Amino acid sequence: NGDGSAASIYGNATAGALADKDKEIEHLKELLKEKERTIQILMKQE
């Protein structure tokens, strides 16, 4: 369906948006892990 029709363009955009969301979710998971490590370090310093 790569004929430039609205369905084709929309389909491709949707797939791209989902891939971006997956990357964003992975990034947020990494930030959460980093935050947890930081909390553990700070708690050990008490």
Residue with tokens 């891939």: 19
pTM above 0.85, yes or no: no
In terms of Cβ atoms closer than 10 Å to its own Cβ (0-12, 13-18, 19+), residue 18 is exposed
User: What are the Cα distances from residue 39, in Å, to 2, 22, 28, 46?
Assistant: 49, 26, 16, 11
pLDDT of residue 1: 47
| Domain boundary assignment for the chain | 1-46
Structural tokens at position 8: 């084709």
pLDDT of residue 6: 56
Q: Mind listing the pLDDT tens digit for each residue in 1-46?
A: 456 555 555 566 677 777 888 889 999 999 999 999 999 999 998 7
